[in-house]
Amino acid sequence: MIVGGSGSGKSSLLKAGVLPRLKHRTADTEWLSCQRCGMARHTSEQHTVFDQLAVNLVSLFLRDLKSAPDWKMIRDQLFNDDTKQAAKDLLEVLQDLTLARNSPDATTVIAVDQFEEFLSPSAGMVARKFLKLLKELLHCRNGRLLVIGTMRSDHLDIYERSSDALTPPFFRTWRLGPFPPSALRKSFASLPIVPM
């Protein structure tokens, strides 16, 4: 979990740093990276984090592969009230994905942005279900899944008190401190000056 204060650049680090680097260096061999998903991106009960995750996973299957699964079927499997079965089904989809891409040793990366949105009292049943799925999923020790999230530091204690919270070794934090002013000055100093 990338943890930092509001506006510290957590999402930027994930979106413009971590995920592109994984895609650029080791795509299709070591890492298969999903697009980011999160609570803040859904606008209705018909477009939840489960919909996003299912669509993102299906998009990783090769486009000319006729056996790519239907995203709605995956979504329904993930949304199952039986969390153990939902986790098992997701791991099977990930195995099918790595085999379809001829990358049996690749690790699939699921990116969850603004994780604190799942902890809001108003987040509801979908958020609780997703947290339960993550906990079950990451305890399966299959070695082929990594979830990277971003979370505001003022929500870390709320997460740690949750009954669905992961604990070490399944959960690690990476603290993103404030951007040092000296680095900001250095960045601006290297910009070319364009006459107007």
More confident residue, 21 or 3: 3
Contact 104, 98 (CB under 8 A): yes
CB contact set of 14 (below 8 Å; sequence gap of 6+): 2, 36, 111, 113, 148, 150
Decide which of 166 and 41 is more confident: 166
**Is 28 part of any domain?**
yes
Cβ neighbours of 40 (radius 10 Å): 12
Rounded mean pLDDT, 54-74: 84
Residue 144 maps to which CATH number? 3.40.50.300
pLDDT for position 7: 84
Structural domain contains residue 194: no
Point out which residues pair with 145 in neighbouring strands. Answer: 108
pLDDT digits (tens, 9 = 90+) for 70-119: 999 999 999 999 999 999 999 999 999 988 888 888 889 999 999 999 99
Looking at the domain assignment, is residue 196 inside a domain?
no
Which residues lie across from 112 on neighbouring strands?
A: 37, 149
Structure-model confidence comparison of residues 26 and 34, the more confident one: 34
Identify which of 72, 163, 146, 158 has the alpha carbon closest to the alpha carbon of residue 111.
146
The answer to the question of residue 32 being in a domain is yes
- Of 112 and 47, the one with more pLDDT: 112
Q: Tell me the average pLDDT of the chain.
A: 84
How many domains does the structure of the chain reveal?
1
Degrees to nearest 5, angle at CA 39 with 49 and 62: 35
Q: The domain containing residue 18 runs over which residues?
A: 2-189
pLDDT value, residue 36:
86
Model confidence at 20, pLDDT cuts 50, 70, 90, reads: confident
Instruction: Say which residue, 180 or 3, is predicted with more confidence.
Output: 3
pTM (predicted TM-score): 0.82
Q: Is residue 137 part of a domain?
A: yes
End-to-end alpha carbon distance in the chain: 43
Whether 152 is in a domain gets the answer yes
Residue 17: inside a domain, yes or no?
yes
pLDDT at 84: 94
Helix (H) or strand (E) holding 54: helix 49-60
Checking if the pLDDT of 188 tops 60, the result is no
Asked if the structure places residue 195 within a domain, the reply is: no
